[in-house]
A = this chain, B = another copy of it.
Amino acid sequence: MKEVLPKFNSTFSIDCVLFGFDEGELKILLIERNEEPFKDWWALPGNLVEEEESLDQSAGRILHELTGLSDIYMEQYYTFGDVARHPQGRVVSIAYYALLRLGGDKVVKPVSNYAKQAYWRNVKDLPRLAFDHQQIFEKGMEKIKRRIKHQPIAFELLPEKFTLTQLQNVYEVILNKKLDKRNFRKKMLSFGVLRDLNEKQYGVSFRAATLYKFDKRKYAKLFGKEISF
């Protein structure tokens, strides 16, 4: 291999905005840094890309290290490359958002070497973030707002079996507005991608709601047809 390429010292990193939905709130996972720069600051989870891994692999690895899970829905959405975004050198960061089911059994939060601890934080009440992570978060938030109108990503935040009210909550909290219950149900059911499980919630202290499941096969058959909220 000719060594013509690197003209200066540079590297790439991945930053992940990992969304979770819990107790009616949209949250993201933040880590408290244990290393310079920005020691003791809150930051998005992220890391350098290694030599023999693609960007998607790297993002998958980071999410796996954080959660122990390896099938998390994720998507690359923007790359941040301002010259001075990292105080120690030229680091271009490729941002991913990821969506996680938080139902009941909270996700594991292992401590990695560069982080003291990781916490779920409501997106409406975030602390000041390290680097340009505020900007990275905001762009990710915008992205899922647009995305949820046309793509079935809401289901990635819910348990496999969910009620229509829970689904509506996800839409409301991401779009940041109230939706009409009857219209929501009418429209959502009209897409024909939910399977009624003929099953009810269990253990709730009020009338139990019907459980539904997202039907990927029916969704695939819609092909190009636009879903719109």
Contacts and interface: CB of A to CB of B under 8 A. Distances in A.
Contact of A9 (B3, B48, B49): B3
A50 B7 contact: yes
Interface in A40-76: 48-56, 76
Given A12-B81, A78-B76, A79-B79, A51 B7 contact: yes
Chain A at the B interface: SS class: loop
Interface in A1-25: 1-12
Interface residues of A, number: 35
Nearest to A53: B83
Nearest to A87: B1
A161 interface: no
A91 B5 contact: yes
A193 interface: no
A28 interface: no
Contact of A92 (B4, B88, B92): B92
A81 B49 contact: yes
Copy number in this complex? 2
A109 interface: no
A89 B55 contact: no
A94 interface: yes
A148 to B, nearest CB: 14
A81 B52 contact: no
Nearest to A2: B88
28 contacts: A1-B87, A1-B89, A3-B9, A5-B9, A5-B10, A5-B48, A5-B88, A5-B89, A5-B90, A6-B6, A6-B9, A6-B10, A6-B89, A7-B11, A7-B48, A7-B50, A8-B51, A10-B11, A10-B51, A12-B81, A49-B92, A54-B82, A54-B83, A55-B79, A55-B81, A56-B81, A92-B92, A92-B94
Interface of A: 1-12, 48-56, 76, 78-79, 81-83, 86-92, 94
Given A5-B90, A76-B79, A81-B94, 13 more contacts: A1-B88, A5-B10, A5-B48, A6-B11, A7-B48, A10-B12, A54-B81, A54-B82, A54-B83, A55-B79, A55-B81, A55-B92, A92-B94
